[in-house]
Amino acid sequence: MKCEIGWDNITHNDASVLTVGTFDGVHRGHQAILSYLRNRAEEKSGPSTLISFDPHPRTVVHGAEVPLLTTVSERARILEDLGLDRFVVIPFSHEFAQRSARDYIEAVLVDRIGLQEITVGYDHRFGKDRAGDVALLRELGAEHGFAVDVIPPQEVDHDVVSSSSIRTLLADEGAVEKAWERLGRPYQLQGTVARGEGRGRTLGFPTANLVLHDARKLVPRHGVYATRVHGPDGQVHGGMMNIGRRPTFDEMDVTVEVHLLNFDGDLYGRRLSVQFLQRLRDEQKFDSADALAAQLSEDEQRCTAVVEAMA
């Protein structure tokens, strides 16, 4: 797959068959659109192309950070696995948001990127104040010689899937299994292992404290999770992840830490990718370190059972 990230890297190809959207989750609804796009691109003998944006447009337009389900690099890997030909990422800025709908289509899609056909949802809006709609897109298509393909909302098990609904499942409920169903893959975090307080080791459960590669990435609700960890050695390990403030020790800073099952080694400075398999419990405050250690032992047994069941 060809990645064109940033204005300086965008090339022009009039044969492109494209769709446009942030596609943050690249969830099963997105995947249905991309599958359709690939089929259209094959019929039209042009590269299947996704035009995405970074940062998230709502972050720029409304000034409120939108937690990401996928970073740009994660999105690229998923799209490549899905067989897309071309991934274009436009830097979204206040200046870009002020482009009129016509100028956006003519200057960006037609002149800068190139297209012979565009696939959009029936309610697709674009340009300043979201003034552009499918009717204008068809009008501009007739003027500039590109086709417009409109598809309905994509459903999974009779539910319309959206990145917003998946964010809510993860952030408010920690419902990683429901998120998995909608994403079509386990939700994941990637980070580099940093030194922590060493409390896990004193309890008999040494943990790798993760510093996320992108601070904008959504972290699920505080609690304990069964996970699968892809380590720097290329091996996959079962894991027990804790997200929270470690209330037993009256700490305030939120940590993201994972204990690798049946692993003994130095991970400091190494990169880990953690996939969420199942939520085990909420974060709790225990009366003593011994009580916490006893609970962690139970959690480890449950994690081991979950990981083995999903192997």
Mean pLDDT (whole number) for 219-228 = 97
- Shared domain for 85 and 142, answered yes or no, is yes
Residues 6+ apart with CB under 8 A from 37: 17, 18, 19, 48, 50, 84, 119
The domain of 21 spans 2-160
Q: What is the mean pLDDT of residues 118-142?
A: 93
**Domain count of the fold of the chain:** 2
Alpha carbons 59 and 117: distance in angstroms, whole number: 29
Name the nearest CA neighbour of 190 among 311, 288, 74, 93.
74
190, 255: one domain = yes
What is the model's pLDDT at position 157?
65
In this predicted model, what pLDDT tens digit does every residue of 30-64 receive, in sequence order? 998 999 999 999 999 999 999 999 999 999 998 88
Let me know if residue 171 belongs to a domain.
Answer: no
- The answer to whether the predicted template modeling score (pTM) of the entire model surpasses 0.85 is yes
Same domain, 156 and 191: no
Residue 165 domain-assigned (yes or no): no
Most confident of the ranges 124-133, 145-154, 219-228, 239-248:
219-228
What is the structure's pLDDT at 247? 66
**Distance (Å, rounded) from C-alpha 58 to C-alpha 263?**
42
**For residue 308, which phi and psi values (nearest 5 degrees)?**
-65, -35
Which pLDDT score is estimated for 119? 95
Q: For the chain, state the CA radius of gyration.
A: 22
The answer, yes or no, to whether residue 98 has pLDDT greater than 90, is yes
Taking the C-alpha atoms of residue 279 and residue 166, their distance in angstroms, rounded to an integer, is: 15
Q: What is the CATH number of the domain that holds 82?
A: 3.40.50.620
For the cut 70, the answer to whether the pLDDT of residue 111 exceeds it is yes
DSSP letter at 249?
G
Q: Find the CATH number of the domain harbouring 263.
A: 2.40.30.30
Q: Give the per-residue pLDDT at 51.
A: 97
In a domain, 12, yes or no: yes
One domain for residues 6 and 68: yes
**Which of 123, 142, 160 finishes a domain?**
160
**88 strand-pairing partners:** 4, 51
Q: How many whole angstroms separate alpha carbon 234 and alpha carbon 232?
A: 5
